[in-house]
Amino acid sequence: MENKMFYFASNGRIFLMILLRTIAAVANGLTRLLMMILNCGDLIDALSTTYPENMVKEVLKVRFFDCF
């Protein structure tokens, strides 16, 4: 059986569907990268505390698994 996903769509609409899906995928990837940079920045800030005894508490506040 044939794939009839684009059977009733014109060429312009097929192009728009593919274009919008591509833009959404790129935006999703860039957002993930941005969040990783921001969360890892928080982790680096937590590691640079002046009091070593408070460093463990500060690092535990940061969600470490979001960095990777």
Is residue 66 a part of any domain in this protein? Answer: yes
Is residue 9 a part of any domain in this protein? Answer: no
| Cβ atoms of residues 17 and 9 within 8 Å | yes
Is residue 1 a part of any domain in this protein? Answer: no
On whether the pTM is more than 0.85, the answer is: no
Judge whether residue 8 has pLDDT over 80.
Answer: yes
Q: How many domains does the chain have?
A: 1
Rounded distance between C-alpha atoms, residue 23 and residue 32, angstroms:
14
Looking at this protein, which amino acid is placed at residue 60? Answer: L
Within 13 A of 28's CA, how many CA atoms are on the CB side? Answer: 6
Is residue 28 a part of any domain in this protein? Answer: no
What number is the average pLDDT over the span 50-66?
71
- Domain carrying residue 51: 34-68
What number is the average pLDDT over the span 6-20?
89
Is residue 63 a part of any domain in this protein? Answer: yes
Residue predicted with more confidence, 16 or 6: 16
Is residue 4 a part of any domain in this protein? Answer: no
| Angle of CA points 15, 17, 21, to nearest 5° | 120
Judge whether residue 5 has pLDDT over 80.
Answer: no
What pLDDT is stored for residue 1 in this prediction?
46
